[in-house]
Structure 1
Amino acid sequence: MEMGVHEFLVLLQLLLFHLGIQVCGSPQSPFCESHILERYIFEAKEAQNATVACMEDCNLGENITVPDTRVNFHIWKNMEVRQKAGEVWQGLTLLSEAVLKGQTLLANSSQTPVALKLFMDKAVSSLRSLRFLLRGLGAQEGAVFVPDTPTAVPFRTFTVGTMDKLFRIYSNFLRGKLKLFLREACQREKR
Structure 2
Amino acid sequence: MVYRTGHFALLLIILEWIRPGLPSPLRPICDLRVLNHFVEEARDAEAAMRFCKEECSIAVPLTVPLSRVDFDVWEKKNTEEQAQEVQTGLWLLNTAMSSFGASITNSALHSHIDASVRNIASLKQVLRSLSIQDYVPTVGGTGETWTVSSASELFQVHINFLRGKVHLLLANAPVCQQNNR
Q: TM-score, normalised by structure 1?
A: 0.76
State the partner residue of 1:13: 15
Matched, 1:127 2:120: yes
Matched, 1:115 2:117: no
State the partner residue of 1:67: 65
Q: What are the Cα deviations for residues 76-130 of structure 1, in whole angstroms up to 9, with x where unaligned?
A: 1121111111111111111111111111122xx5xxx322111111111111111
State the partner residue of 1:169: 157
Q: What are the Cα deviations for residues 18-55 of structure 1, in whole angstroms up to 9, with x where unaligned?
A: xx9427xxxx9451122211111110011112212322
| SS of match in other structure, 1:70 | coil
Alpha carbons 1:85, 1:144 under 8 Å: kept: no
Q: How many residues align?
A: 169
| SS of match in other structure, 1:138 | coil
Q: 1:8 to 1:118 in 2, by over 3 A?
A: closer
State the partner residue of 1:188: 177
Structure 1: which amino acid aligns with 2:146? F
Report the Cα distance in structure 1 between the residues aligned to 2:65 and 2:116, rounded to whole angstroms.
16
Task: Give structure 1 regions of 4+ aligned residues with deviation exceeding 6 angstroms.
Answer: 6-9
Report the Cα distance in structure 2 between the residues aligned to 1:60 and 1:43, rounded to whole angstroms.
21
Report the Cα distance in structure 2 between the residues aligned to 1:76 and 1:144, rounded to whole angstroms.
20
Report the Cα distance in structure 1 between the residues aligned to 2:42 and 2:178, rounded to whole angstroms.
27
| SS of match in other structure, 1:140 | coil
Once the two structures are overlaid, the 10-residue window that deviates more, 66-75 or 54-63, is: 54-63
Shift of 1:8: 8.8
Alpha carbons 2:10, 2:122 under 8 Å: kept: no
State the partner residue of 1:55: 53
What RMSD in Å do the two structures reach over aligned CA positions?
2.9
Shift of 1:188: 2.7
Q: TM-score, normalised by structure 2?
A: 0.80
Unaligned runs of 5+ in 1: 146-153
Report the Cα distance in structure 1 between the residues aligned to 2:65 and 2:9, rounded to whole angstroms.
29
State the partner residue of 1:138: 131
Q: 1:119 to 1:10 in 2, by over 3 A?
A: closer
Q: 1:130 to 1:7 in 2, by over 3 A?
A: closer
Unaligned runs of 5+ in 2: none
Report the Cα distance in structure 2 between the residues aligned to 1:29 and 1:53, rounded to whole angstroms.
40
